[in-house]
Amino acid sequence: MPISELKLAKELIRKPSITPRDAGAINLLAKNLRSLGFKCKIINFKNIKNLYAKLGSSTPNFCYAGHTDVVPPGKISDWSVNPFKPVIKNNKLIGRGANDMKASIACFVSAVSRFKNQNKRFKGSISLLITGDEEGIAVNGTKRVIEYLKKKKERINFCLVGEPTNPNKLGEMIKIGRRGSMTGRLRIIGSQGHVAYPHRANNPSNTMIKILKRLKELRLDKGTKSFQPSNLEITKINIDNHADNVIPGTADAVFNIRFNDKHSASSLKKKLNTIIRSVSKRNRCKFKVQYEVSGEAFLTKPNKITYMTQDIIKKITGIKPKLSTTGGTSDARFIRNIAPCLEFGLVGKTMHKVDESVSVSDLKKLTKIYQNILVSYFK
């Protein structure tokens, strides 16, 4: 009997795996995969539970990647249902993780069960790389599992990431790359003093304002054929000053850059540091800046698997999906270091929102899409 995508999706949603908690989600998934003949390896890094499951031992190895952790539900009273007691209303499955991305995982597992029933002797392997650390800081999740697989000399030939890629309708969009992401944490150091005697102090907030103005005026690029323009956004400004009549000694700000393949994190650091250093020096202030790079920009050039996936999606949904690099980051930024990646999943319209939901009919279609991709891949 094939595994029901709806039943498994409900079971996964019932596990309140708010990042970085697992709450039994990985074990539940492993139990279902073992029933299909998968060998499951649960890999723990610190307090994070990850899973690498594999069916078969020959090449090529087709991998599906995803995450079982979810974002917090917010105020439970704002939901029409308990976020961890899934309910179907108006043909929609409602619950935290319904589209990001427990139901997508359930669809792939169901697709594998159906594929396996009809293709008992397929040549190759099917694997799943599932983490409990995607919605959080993503340090002990997919990134560490990739390092583990490299050490074990485990090869993945192709990876399908099941993130919710479609803006409004199933079939609209395949992700073939992502912009890079870098966060800068800037501190300007002046000298504290009394507001009545500004000449005896050096207000770092004035320097910070000038620097942030320069950073916002930066025209990084106009975009490329495959990517939208890079953008820098200021996300925090903080002056830790509890007295109204004191000029502060320090000022802090945080900014984030989403950058395309015209840049690297290294080239952007040089550009930003030049501005920060120049303005700070001119205003007789010191500075400290720390950068956190969560991923470089990457692009999987369209190939026969891309076009095969496009054709299958169009056949089942009636929509030819656009090949896109829009949106935020995903774990594809780590996986692309060992295998070519595509991303295709459910409709992300309600992800991270109150009453997160997914169409039940979309679940059936996505299962069929994933099954057909497996059939075509292993032909």
Same domain as 124, residue 43: yes
pLDDT at 154: 97
Same domain as 206, residue 152: no
φ, ψ of residue 246 in degrees (nearest 5): -120, 130
Could you tell me the pLDDT band of residue 328, with boundaries at 50, 70 and 90?
Answer: confident
Average pLDDT of the residues of the chain: 97
Question: For residue 167, what are the domain limits?
Answer: 5-178+297-377
Same domain as 161, residue 35: yes
Distance, CA of 346 to CA of 235 (rounded, Å): 29
Last residue of a domain, one of 262, 295, 328: 295
Same domain as 130, residue 79: yes
Last residue of a domain, one of 295, 325, 349: 295
pLDDT tens by residue, 156-194: 999 999 999 999 999 999 999 999 999 999 999 999 999
Place of tokens 């995450």: 67
Q: Looking at the annotation, which residues are catalytic?
A: 69, 134
Same domain as 223, residue 159: no
Number of domains in the chain: 2
Q: Give the CA count within 13 Å in the CB-facing half-sphere of 55.
A: 24
Q: What is the mean pLDDT of residues 277-304?
A: 97
Same domain as 305, residue 290: no
* Predicted structure pTM score: 0.92
pLDDT tens by residue, 247-261: 999 999 999 999 999
| DSSP structure class, residue 80 | S
With the CA atoms of 307, 312, 316 and 321 taken in that order, what torsion angle do they form, in degrees rounded to the nearest 10?
Answer: -20
pLDDT tens by residue, 133-152: 999 888 899 999 999 999 99
Same domain as 170, residue 216: no
Last residue of a domain, one of 295, 313, 331: 295
Residue 171 token pair: 């079939």
Same domain as 356, residue 216: no
Give the SS3 label for residue 167: coil
Give the SS3 label for residue 345: coil
pLDDT at 361 over 90: yes
